[in-house]
């Protein structure tokens, strides 16, 4: 079955640590996206990538980094520079310009 997977489902981090969230898709989609969701604020775009080896900052990129070395994979690193990283993180993919398919999400908690 084609789909998009995220791991882990729950992640705990100590302050000052970097952590990487995984996102993999086997839908053969060119475009991939990372969103952050906080209560009452909807989905906010962190980074997005339309093709391999290229990505653009979204609306809240500070404190985050990404890579796109393979079409199937778009990992997100939450760095220690992100001051309030506790949130629900959603990865999505699309063929570009049409519907986005979302993964199940990773809930990150900073201890």
Partner 1 sequence: QQPVQSPQAVILREGEDAVINCSSSKALYSVHWYRQKHGEAPVFLMILLKGGEQKGHDKISASFNEKKQQSSLYLTASQLSYSGTYFCGTEKRANFGNEKLTFGTGTRLTIIP
Interface with partner 1 (CB under 8 A): 31, 33, 35, 40-45, 48, 50, 56, 58-59, 90, 96-105
Q: What's 6-53 look like in SS3?
A: EECCEEEECCCCCEEEEEEECCCCCEEEEEEECCCCCEEEEEEEEECC
Q: Give min distance, CB of 97 to partner 1, in A.
A: 5
Q: Give min distance, CB of 45 to partner 1, in A.
A: 6
- Residue (16 or 40) nearer to partner 1, CB: 40
């Amino acid at each position: 079955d084609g789909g998009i997977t995220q791991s882990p489902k729950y992640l705990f981090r100590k302050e000052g640590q970097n952590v990487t969230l995984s996102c993999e898709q086997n839908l053969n989609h060119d475009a991939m996206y990372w969103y952050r969701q906080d209560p009452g604020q909807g989905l906010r775009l962190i980074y997005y990538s339309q093709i391999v080896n290229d990505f653009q900052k979204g609306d809240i990129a500070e404190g985050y980094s990404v890579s796109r070395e393979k079409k199937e994979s778009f990992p997100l690193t939450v760095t220690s520079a992100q001051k309030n990283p506790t949130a629900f993180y959603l990865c999505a993919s699309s063929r570009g310009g049409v519907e986005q398919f979302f993964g199940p999400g990773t809930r990150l908690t900073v201890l």
